[in-house]
Every structure is written in C-alpha cells, then in structure tokens.
A and B are shown apart, each in its own frame.
Chain A
Amino acid sequence: MPSPCSSPRLLRHGPIFFAAFLSFFVSLGTLPAKAVEPDEVLQDQALEARARHISEGLRCLVCQNQSIEDSAAPLAKDLRLLVRERLKAGDTDQQIEDFVVARYGEFVLLKPRFEPHTLILWFATPVVFIVALLIVVLAYRRRSAAAQLPPLSKAEERRLKRLLEDR
C-alpha cells in the first residue's frame, strides 16, 4: 500500500493532476519500510528505494492483506531478499514483478493487473457512479417535469373567464 505520489510510478500511470491529487490521500496506513531488517538494506540508496517501492505492491502470502514491506513473517523476508537480489542483478521493476508473479501467481500482487478477468473489478466503481448519476438526473428531470403544470385548455380558460366575470 504505497503512497503512489512519492514515486515516479504515479506520474506514469496518472497523468492528470487531479488524479494525482486524489491518489495522494490514498495511502491510508501505507507507510514506508515497516518490517525491513537492518541486514537487508541495500547500500545503493536508489536501488533500496526501488526495492521498497516494489515490495509495497507485493503481498505477503501468509498474512492478511499486508505487503511484504509491512510483514515480519519469514516468507516476506525471503521475498524482500529475492527482490533485492534481482535488483542487484540488474532487472527492471517490471521484470521483477513478472518474475515474482510467475513464481507465486497473480495472488502476490496487491493491485490486480488490468486483464479480462479483472475488468469487472476495475470498471464496477465508475459504472456504479455513472448509473447512479444518471438515475439522479433522470429522477430530477422527471420530478420537475411533473411539477410543471400543463397550460390551461380552451375550455378551462373559458371557465376561468366566466368565474372571474361572475365575481
């Protein structure tokens, strides 16, 4: 659960300022390096930062919705070390992600990939929003149309005139 704005990743994925602004708040409870142990930290600061960033998106497989960055479980430690080894070997972030997914399945990713079987997941919220908005707008227009009284018919006008004259 990273704060995406602190990383270049967001700038790649969310070009719009507004989206970036929104995503900031995101990071409910998402703080840097929680379980990393002293012996794991890489000397190269740029590599270490990349390692942390990758770790934030990988799930600790034996925990409840915690990233390997947050988890003190031995398996999470192994994965953190694995990520660092691949980094030192010169892999790109994407290559490391693919490597881990090939080994552990897509379950390991905290942010599911955008693929046919996750289309519903990703599109459900925007669709709900648009449908709800349409319902609100239509209900409003129907209500205001119903509130507009129809103009008087010829017969009604004659009757009104007669009533007024009778007074």
Chain B
Amino acid sequence: MIAETGHYALILALALAIVQTVLPLWGTRTRDPQLMAVAAPAAQMQFVLIAIAFSALMTAYVTSDFSLQNVWANSHSAKPLIYKIAGVWGNHEGSMVLWVLILALFGAAVATFGTNLPRELQANVLAVQGSIAAAFLLFIITTSNPFIRLDPAPLDGQGLNPVLQDPALAFHPPFLYTGYVGFSMAFSFAVAALIDGRIDAAWARWVRPWTLAAWMCLTLGIAMGSWWAYYELGWGGFWFWDPVENASFMPWLAGTALLHSALVMEKRDALKVWTILLAIITFSLSLMGTFLVRSGVLTSVHSFAVDPARGIFILAIMGIFIGGALTLFAIRAPLLSQGGLFAPISREGSLVLNNLLLVTACAAVFVGTLYPLALESLTGEKISVGGPFFNYTFVPLIVPLLIAVPFGPMLAWKRGDIVAAGQRLMAAAILALVVAVAVLAWQQRGPWLAPFGIGLGIWLIGGALSEIAFRVKLFDGSLTDAARRLGNLPRSAFGTAFAHAGLGIVVIGIVATTAWRSESILAMTPKESADIAGYQLTFEGVAPREGPNYRERVGLFKVARGGQAVTTLEPSKREFTVERSSTTEAGIHDSWRGDLYVVLGDPLKDGAYSVRIYFNPLVRLIWLGAVVMFIGGGLSLSDRRLRIGAPKRAKAMGQGLAPAE
C-alpha cells in the first residue's frame, strides 16, 4: 500500500509538472498574473509529492519489502541499516527519484524564497524547472519505475554491489546530484531571461548563490568519490580519468567558470551573453553526466543496467533541452544589451582568462571522454584515452591558470595595475620559490619538477593570504586597525581566499603523493618484518572474521616507528556471501606526514602472503583541500550580500568586494 501511494504520488507529480510548465508560461505570454501565480504553489506541491514518493521507496528499503522488484534486486535483509538507506540511490531507478527530488527541492526553494523576484522571471524560471521535472518524471515512470511489484514476493533480496557498501560512497551520489541538479537553477534562470529577453545584475545576484551551492556540493561529491577510490580499490590511486569521473568533472570545470563569470556580471554588468551561454553549457554537461553514467554507454560499476530504451530516452531529453536552449539563445542573445567596458588588465580581464582556460580545459576532458565513443560508433575502431592523453592536453591549460589565480583578486575592476599586483604578491612569490628550492635540495628521489609543483601550491596559498593581508592593510598602520578591518571584511573575501588556498592544498597533496610515494611488494610469512618510510611493520598472521553480511580474512600488522609501537593495521579481503563477490579493504594509518597503506594479497606457498605496502606522503591534503574549498564556498554563501532576498539592495554592495585601492 505504501509503495502504491508512492507510485501514485509520482504520477500526480508528473501531471503537476506539466501544469507548472504550461500555465505560467502562458501567463507570461498573455500577461495574466493569475496564471503566473500558479507557478509557486505548483512547485511547492511538486516537492511534497516527490518527497512522498521518495519516502515510500525508502520505507520499502528500510523494511526490506522484497515484493518491490527494485528492493529485491538491490537490497538484502542482512544488510546494515545505513546501506539499506543508501541502497535507495545505489541503483538506477532510485537514483533517478533522488534526482527529481533534489530538482523539486530547488524549485520549491525558488517558489518560497523568491517572492521578491520580478513576477515574470519567477514564473518563467519555475516553468522551465517544471519542464525538466516533467521530462525526468516521464522517464522514470515509463522506463525506470522503482515501484513495480513482484508476485510472489521473493524471500530475500539479491544485495547491493559490495564495493558500493561504503560510508563515503553512501553519501557520494546525493552530493553529486545536488551539484548536477543545482546547475539546473542557473539553466532555468538563463532560459527564463532569454524568454523574457531581459537580463540585469539582479539576475546574476540570484543565480550566483544557487550556482555556488551546487558547486560546493559537486566539489564535495567528487572528493568523496576520489577518496572512496583511494581506499577501496586497493592501490591508493585517487583519480583515473575514467569516463565516469570525467562526467562529473566537466560540470565542475564549467560550473567553476560560471561562478566567476556571474561575478563579473553581478558587479560590472558585463559578460552577460557569455554567462547565459555558460549557464546553459554547465547544465548541459550535468545532463550529459547523467546520460553517460545512466545510459549504460560506459560499462562500469556506475551503470547499473544496460537498457537501450533508457539511453535513447535520456538522449532525447538532452537533445530537447540542450538543443532548445541553444536555439533560444541564438535567437534571443543578440537582443540582450551589452554591459560595462573594461581594460584587458583588470579584474574582469583576469576572470575572462579564467573562463578561457577553464572552458578549454573542460573541452579537453570532453573530447578525451567522448571521442573514443564517437569513433567506435562511427568506424568500429576501439581506442583508449587514458591519463597520458590528459597529461598532454588538460594539464598545460590548468598550470597557467593556477599560476594566474592569485593575480585575479589583486586587480581592480575596470582597469588594474599588474605591476602593483605583482608587488603585493612578492612575499608569496618569494616564499614559493624558497620552499621550492628547499624541497629541491632536500629531495633524494623523485622528478626534479616536483619541488616546483609544491612551490605552485605554496604560491596559491600565499597568494590567498596576501590578498587578505593587503585588504586589511596588515603592514601599514597598527595591528589593531588591521584586526578591526579584518572583522569588517565581507565574508565573501574569506570565501575567495579559502577556495583559492584550498586549491593550493590540493595541488601540494597531488604533487607530493605522486612524486614521493614509496612502495614495497613482498611475500611475507608470519612474524616477518618490513621497513618503509621510517615505519617497521611486523606481519602477525591472518585470521578469519565475521561481519554483518560478509566474511573476511584479516591480516594483522604491528606498526612501529623508531622502536615505538604506533598502531595495528588490519587489511582484509571480504567475501560477500549474498552477492558472491569480494572486496579488498586496505589497512591505512594516517598521520600528518602521509598515509601508511597496507594491502593483503593472496596466499602464496609455504604460508606466505603477498603483501603490498605503500607510503603516500601528504595524500590527505587532496581531500582536505577540497573541504577547504567547500568551506570557502560556504563562507561566500553566508555573505550577507549574497543571501537570498538581497537582490534589491544593489546600492549597498560594491564597496566590500571591490579591491581596496
């Protein structure tokens, strides 16, 4: 009965989504305020209905109702509760319901908090949101219905893919989807502006918080995915340039560009047409990410089902929305007025450079991801595009961008002074160089470029600190004055500094762990010892153990450093009885120096085991940096001037974010 309620709610939501699309659009055409007023309550009700459907599905999972085909195929009564809950989105059908739930949440937020938006704009935005919801609800109900019953109901389920039974991965999809779907707000606003033929700074001020929130979630979602790959796949890699990873990375790159161009539009009323186009591109890439992962075009753990009907349906959705938006753009964009002028060396100019490099880098990932698919479908020839390709295309674009990052916030709007900016960054540059040279002198092995990579990371962090120091006039005047100014700085200034410093932290983590990783591959018998990176590991033997829904073979390793016991590591091989597959669980000891990472391999002859031990220096910085970037986004979002409802107070802005002269 609960499942039927959910099913019914989903169908009602589809009908309502069509109403939400048609009536408000008609209203803005005929200037009928009553029809326009349908949009807000429809969007709110839409959320309620989809939330009912989602709760019904979740109830079925938690109570292990195997009369639902979806629950039977993806759950098992012996699974821990957290993975029963995560199982809801650990499969194709459920994850699509989560997708529309987040979409409806954003729509309801605009309906509820957007009361100060121009009426036509709000109606158009919600209509566009409604049309996306209608398309995806139709997709769910016709091709991916999670509420289909089985008769008779099986006694128990088939379980969830064991590699997905992991805390980081349980919450990876919700964050990723909030990111993807969050960009639909930018898209809906862009299309609404094109329908309206009007766009102003208030538009950008509205779009920016949504884009920022989406970007934050996407950043965290990608970081979680990479963290999971690091400890779960058993050899400590954190990025594979896998098409599925690229699918989430492309919207991130485009979204980062959008975040920056929306800033120019909000502050200076420039780059309007480009920002609109970028908003369309970003969401298109999100749709493509969904398509790539969900259609089964790529075969990996991520494509839960290979069903061509779904692929064609999502392709059609993509075609309609992307094609439609771009056509509308081609017709309407010339009508949009152009905004403020600026010199090439200026804050705007630096943000144009940012966009140029980010978008081209995104194009590199796009080509590398899709070209093999296109080539195979056209000529039947199969090629692989892996890490080495991206080394030659993506990296040459990103490194100049990273070098340029600290200059951006130091330049004034309209016309900047690059020499003065350089002087303000002198301390950061010297620090970066000193660190690079020191590391070069210290390093005994590893590529000679690694120290410069570390220097680049320091440059980013130093640049972020310099900006704050400069804005509070740390070095001219008393410290108390500086402290007072620090208190008065807008939060978005800290947001920028955190985000840019976080980037530097990520760079240091990647460079250090890539260049100075040590490894040791051994055949170890019990009581044997091994030395790595200053640690002494003693293999104590292997013991069996029972988990809630698996059996494992655990290797026991005593870890000591300089004669003192540090910890005991228990890497294991888990056999999942229901799913009949196994996973490798690494034993990881983390410290500020880096991670000691032990993997237990297969038994060899004479009671020996194959053991792989790695030391990954500073690897945690990769995810720490992502979290710092997330916090930066949060600080910016909490800025009073960006808070929802702020659009009207346009005059009071400006002074905070403008660089101090």
Contact = CB atoms under 8 A, between A and B. Distances in A.
Physical interaction between A and B:
yes
Interface of A: 1-6, 19-39, 41, 57, 59, 64-67, 70, 72, 105-112, 117-118, 120-122, 124-125, 128-129, 132-133, 136, 140, 143-144, 147
26 contacts: A25-B398, A25-B507, A26-B395, A27-B391, A29-B239, A30-B514, A31-B616, A59-B384, A64-B240, A64-B242, A64-B298, A67-B387, A106-B384, A109-B383, A110-B386, A111-B388, A112-B389, A121-B385, A122-B393, A124-B371, A125-B363, A125-B397, A129-B397, A132-B360, A136-B356, A143-B341
A37 B601 contact: yes
A102 B239 CA distance: 29
A33 B521 contact: yes
Contact of A70 (B226, B235, B375, B507): B235
B392 A23 contact: yes
B352 A107 contact: no
A20 B387 contact: no
A4 B384 contact: no
A124 to B, nearest CB: 4
Nearest to A18: B396
A22 B383 contact: no
B514 A124 contact: no
B37 interface: no
Nearest to B273: A139
A110 B341 contact: no
A108 B372 CA distance: 13
Given A21-B399, A120-B371, A31 B517 contact: yes
What is the size category of the interface that chain B forms with chain A? Answer: 35 or more
Given A111-B388, A121-B367, A132-B356, A25 B511 contact: yes
Interface string B492-516: 0000000000000001001101110
A32 B388 contact: no
B519 A25 contact: no
Contacts, number: 197
A110 B388 contact: yes
B360 A129 contact: yes
A105 to B, nearest CB: 6
Given A2-B388, A23-B392, A106-B381, A143 B447 contact: no
A125 B521 contact: no
A110 B384 contact: yes
Interface stretch (B99-107, B449-457, B480-488): B449-457
A128 B617 CA distance: 37
Contacts of A106: 381-384
Nearest to B302: A64
A57 B388 contact: yes
B300 interface: yes
Interface of B: 226, 234-244, 298-301, 338, 341, 344, 352, 356, 359-360, 363-364, 367-368, 371, 375, 379, 381-399, 446-450, 452-453, 456, 507, 510-511, 513-515, 517, 519, 521-523, 584, 601, 604, 610, 612, 614, 616
B356 A1 contact: no
A128 B523 CA distance: 50
A144 B517 contact: no
B237 A30 contact: yes
A24 B655 CA distance: 41
A139 B307 CA distance: 45
B387 A22 contact: no
Listed from nearest, the 4 A-B pairs whose CB atoms lie closest are: A1-B387, A110-B386, A111-B388, A34-B235
Given A31-B616, A38-B610, A118-B383, 18 more contacts: A4-B391, A21-B449, A25-B507, A28-B514, A29-B241, A29-B387, A30-B514, A34-B519, A57-B388, A59-B386, A67-B387, A107-B384, A110-B385, A112-B383, A117-B375, A120-B367, A128-B364, A133-B356
B238 A144 contact: no
B519 A28 contact: no
Contacts of A2: 387-388
Nearest to A5: B447
A29 B238 contact: yes
B610 A37 contact: yes
Find the residue from B368, B388, B392 having the highest chain A CB count within 10 A. B388
Contact of A66 (B240, B360, B447, B517): B240
B240 A65 contact: yes
A131 to B, nearest CB: 9
Nearest to A69: B235
Contacts of A67: 386-387
Contact of A143 (B238, B338, B379): B338
A125 B41 CA distance: 46
A110 B381 contact: no
A60 B238 CA distance: 17
B344 A140 contact: yes
A110 B385 CA distance: 5
Contact of A38 (B237, B242, B394, B523): B523
Nearest to B244: A64
A109 B372 CA distance: 12
